[in-house]
Amino acid sequence: MSSILDTVSSEIETVVSRFAALVRRVGQRHRLSDADLEDVLQEVRIRLWKAHSGTGQGSEQIGRVSASYVYRTAVSAAIDLLRRRRARGAEQTVTLEETEEPVAQGSDPTWSVEQSELAEQLTRALEAITPSRRPVLRMYLAGYSREEIASVMGWSEAKTRNLLYRGLADLRERLAEMGISCEPTA
Amino acid sequence: MRTDGLTDERLREAYQRVLAARGGRGRERCPTPEALLAVLRREGPEERRLETVDHVMGCAACRSEFDLLRSIEQAGAGTERAGATVLRLFQRPAWRSVAPVALAASVLLIVVAGQKLRSRETPDVERGTADMVLLLGPAPEIAAGAPITFAWGPVPGARGYELEVLDGQGSVVLAEKTAETSLTLRDDPRLVPGATYRWWVRAIAASGDRRSSVMRSLRVRTK
């Protein structure tokens, strides 16, 4: 009995590892938190176990479970995990402030102060941007490329470029009105 | 896009500061996880999706969640397309009564094809990766009432480990944390004679990264 269960466990691990490798490959481009993914994968393992217990089928059949099935299980597990975390109120995700705090340029305090001031003005300027242009602008400022924005929104490259160009022009205009120079630095 | 004094790069750096300053605020106004998924699947009106994106891209917590779902969705997109030929293994086996001979032949074909495909994959995927937690003991069956020592191999950089024991329904019956690579339980009432459990260990690195072991079974013999 136990050795059968260990074989099942090993088969589940194979299936999950295969899917995890795919997600990690994609996740490298998206700043995916490995800890978050690990939590989801563990939930997937448990769900596969439960599903297997319900059918009483052999371990070799788990080995043949589709990647598509694992994917759907992973999405469902991720949604449940996020919901539980929010309900607990314990923010366990790795926040951007932990991973993306900009590196100060050397120890130049002037540069740091300038950046902080710019951040404040940027917040105000963004709030003043037309709501229809703001999301694409935020995506771009958050690090998304034009191609990624087009892909997420389902837009053509031309539409994305156009919206982004106008959004950035708006933003610079607002910042200029606030006294932030858009002229080339010496 | 512009290369003048206020370059795109400088704006992006400033925006990271904006996000960092916001940090982990309350989540009351955050869109639901389902709404994040709807954006990635392009479901629902564009106007609503844009509202969601506007929030997500200005909220560090939502952004992390969005990145997680986005990675799973993109990894899954390929598997969905390739998944047309798959067995539905975890559905109730009503098919058993239908055309058994033809079905047996189909399954045999799929098994053979599957084994050939699997044999081409890298051995690391089959065996797990080197940085996973390697479980060492106990044996799959133990005597009731005897001390049980769970042991596992050390993971470089781990600052602690979590041991979980699940019952047949997948519910956690025992969860312990330790900085060591073994843990001994003596006559623990949570492990009932005659029952079979599964257990696994997770290593926690100082950075917060986690690595899990596979699950292993554990049967407590009746006295």
Is residue A129 within 8 A of residue A166, CB to CB? The reply is no
Inter-chain residue contact B125 with A14, CB threshold 8 Å:
yes
Is residue B210 within 8 A of residue B132, CB to CB? The reply is no
- Mean pLDDT (chain A) is 77
What average pLDDT score do residues B96-114 get?
47
Is residue B213 within 8 A of residue B202, CB to CB? The reply is yes
Judge whether residue A176 has pLDDT over 80: yes
Q: What is the 3-state secondary structure (H, E, C) of chain A?
A: CHHHHHHHHHHHHHHHHHHHHHHHHHHHHHCCCHHHHHHHHHHHHHHHHHHHHHHCCCHHHHHCCCHHHHHHHHHHHHHHHHHHHHHHCCCCCCCHHHHCCCCCCCCCHHHHHHHHHHHHHHHHHHHHCCCCCHHHHHHHHCCCCHHHHHHHHCCCHHHHHHHHHHHHHHHHHHHHHCCCCCCCCC
Phi and psi of A182, rounded to 5°?
-105, 5
- Mean pLDDT (chain B) is 75
Distance CA B157, CA B36 (A): 34
Chain A residues with CB under 8 Å of B87 CB are: 61, 64-66
Q: Of A22 and A54, which is predicted with more confidence?
A: A22
Who among B14, B46, B70 is closest to A115 (CB)? B14
Q: Where are the alpha helices (DSSP H) in chain B?
A: 8-22, 33-40, 46-56, 60-82, 100-119, 123-127
CA distance A108 to chain B (A): 16
Inter-chain residue contact A64 with B111, CB threshold 8 Å:
yes
B194 sits in the region (left: phi over 0; alpha: psi -120 to 50; else beta) called left
CA distances from B208 to B60, B72, B202, B205 (A): 17, 20, 12, 5
Instruction: Note the pLDDT of residue A64.
Output: 64
Instruction: Note the pLDDT of residue A28.
Output: 77
Residue reference for tokens 């600052």 = B159
Give CA angle at B167 (A38, B137), nearest 5°: 70
What average pLDDT score do residues B74-90 get?
56
Inter-chain residue contact A70 with B79, CB threshold 8 Å:
yes
Kindly report the CATH number that applies to the domain delimited by B135-220: 2.60.40.10
Instruction: Note the pLDDT of residue B84.
Output: 41
Residues of chain B with CATH 2.60.40.10: 135-220
Instruction: Note the pLDDT of residue B207.
Output: 79
Instruction: Note the pLDDT of residue B152.
Output: 85
What average pLDDT score do residues B212-222 get?
84
Poorest-pLDDT segment among A48-52, A79-83, B112-116, B188-192: B112-116
Buried b (16+ CB within 10 A) or exposed e, A145-175: ebebbbbbbebeeeebeebbeebbebbbebb
CA distances from B200 to A77, A92, B150, B165 (A): 18, 21, 9, 7
Token digits for A163?
A: 């919206």
CA A127 to chain centre: 23
Give the contacts of A58 (CB within 8 A, at least 6 positions apart): A4
User: Which amino acid, one-letter code, is at A169?
Assistant: A
CA distance A95 to chain B (A): 5
With bands split at pLDDT 50, 70 and 90, how would you rate the model's confidence at A59? Answer: low
- Nearest chain B residue to A84 by CA distance is B33
What average pLDDT score do residues A159-181 get?
89
In chain B, residues 113-142 whose CB comes closer than 8 Å to chain A:
114, 118, 121, 125-126, 128-129, 140-141
Q: Helix or strand or coil: residue B149?
A: strand
With bands split at pLDDT 50, 70 and 90, how would you rate the model's confidence at B101? Answer: very low
Give the contacts of B128 (CB within 8 A, at least 6 positions apart): A13, A17, B214
Distance CA A100, CA B57 (A): 14
Residues paired with B219 in a beta bridge: B141, B196
Who among B32, B69, B83 is closest to A66 (CB)? B83
Structural domains in chain A, sorted by start: 2-96 (no CATH), 111-177 (1.10.10.10)
Token digits for B155?
A: 């993971």
Judge whether residue A146 has pLDDT over 60: yes
Who among A38, A50, A152 is closest to B210 (CB)? A38
With bands split at pLDDT 50, 70 and 90, how would you rate the model's confidence at B14? Answer: confident
Inter-chain residue contact B67 with A182, CB threshold 8 Å:
no
What average pLDDT score do residues B169-173 get?
82
Q: Of B36 and A93, which is predicted with more confidence?
A: B36
Judge whether residue A153 has pLDDT over 50: yes
Token digits for B210?
A: 């986690």
pLDDT tens-digit series, residues B19-50: 776 655 677 789 999 999 999 999 999 999 99
With bands split at pLDDT 50, 70 and 90, how would you rate the model's confidence at B70? Answer: very high
Give the contacts of B76 (CB within 8 A, at least 6 positions apart): A67, A68, A71, A72, A74, A75
Instruction: Note the pLDDT of residue B98.
Output: 42
Who among A14, A135, A182 is closest to B57 (CB)? A135
Judge whether residue B155 has pLDDT over 70: yes
> What is the Cα gyration radius of chain B?
25
Judge whether residue A2 has pLDDT over 60: no
With bands split at pLDDT 50, 70 and 90, how would you rate the model's confidence at A111? Answer: low
Buried b (16+ CB within 10 A) or exposed e, A130-143: eeebbbbbbbbbbb
Residues paired with B166 in a beta bridge: B172, B198
Give CA angle at A27 (A14, B200), nearest 5°: 40
**Which of A104-118, B22-36, B37-51, B186-200 is the most confident on average?**
B37-51
Give the contacts of A114 (CB within 8 A, at least 6 positions apart): none
Q: Of A90 and B139, which is predicted with more confidence?
A: B139
Chain B residues with CB under 8 Å of A44 CB are: none
Q: For residue B188, which of B146, B141, B135 has the smallest C-alpha distance?
A: B146
Q: Does the structure's ipTM exceed the value 0.90?
A: no
Is residue A34 within 8 A of residue A92, CB to CB? The reply is no
